Amino acid sequence: MKERSLTLALMDPPYESANSTTALRIISVALEQGINVNVFAYEGAVCLPLKDQSPHANPVKGTTVEEEEHPTTKAFVSSLLAIGKDGPLLTWVNCGLCVDERGAANVVDGVKRGSPADFFKMASESTNTLVIPTK
Amino acid sequence: MTRYVFIESRDPFESCDTKFIEETAIAVKERGHDVTVFLVQNGVLAARQNTGRLGRLAEAGVTLLADNFSLRERGIKSEELAHGIQESGISKLVEAIVQEHTKAIWH
Interface ipTM: 0.94
Among chain B residues, CA nearest to A25: B90
Nearest to A35 among B9, B90, B98 (CB): B98
Give me the pLDDT at residue B15, please.
Answer: 81
pLDDT (tens digit, 9 = 90+) per residue, A25-70?
Answer: 999 999 999 999 999 999 999 999 999 999 999 999 999 999 999 8
> Mean pLDDT score of chain A, rounded to an integer?
96
Q: Which of A62, A50, A41 is nearest to A115 (CA)?
A: A41
A45: CB partners within 8 A, 6+ apart: A10, A11, A12, A13, A20, A98
- What distances in angstroms separate CA B13 from CA A135, B45, B53, one per listed residue? 15, 8, 10
**CB spacing of A33 vs B69 below 8 angstroms:** no
Q: Which H or E element spans position A111? A: strand A111-114
**CB spacing of A33 vs B94 below 8 angstroms:** yes
Q: What are phi and psi of A106, to 5 degrees?
A: -85, 85
Q: Which residues of chain B have pLDDT under 50?
A: none
Q: Bridge partners of B7?
A: B38, B106
What residues of chain B lie within 8 A of the CB of A129, using their CB? 104
Q: Quick check: helix, strand or coil at residue B61?
A: coil
**Other beta carbons within 10 Å of A23:** 25
Give me the pLDDT at residue A121, please.
Answer: 98
Give me the pLDDT at residue A1, please.
Answer: 60
Mean per-residue pLDDT, A130-135: 93
Residue A98 CA, chain-centre distance (Å), reads 14
Nearest to A6 among B41, B91, B97 (CB): B97
pTM above 0.90, yes or no: yes
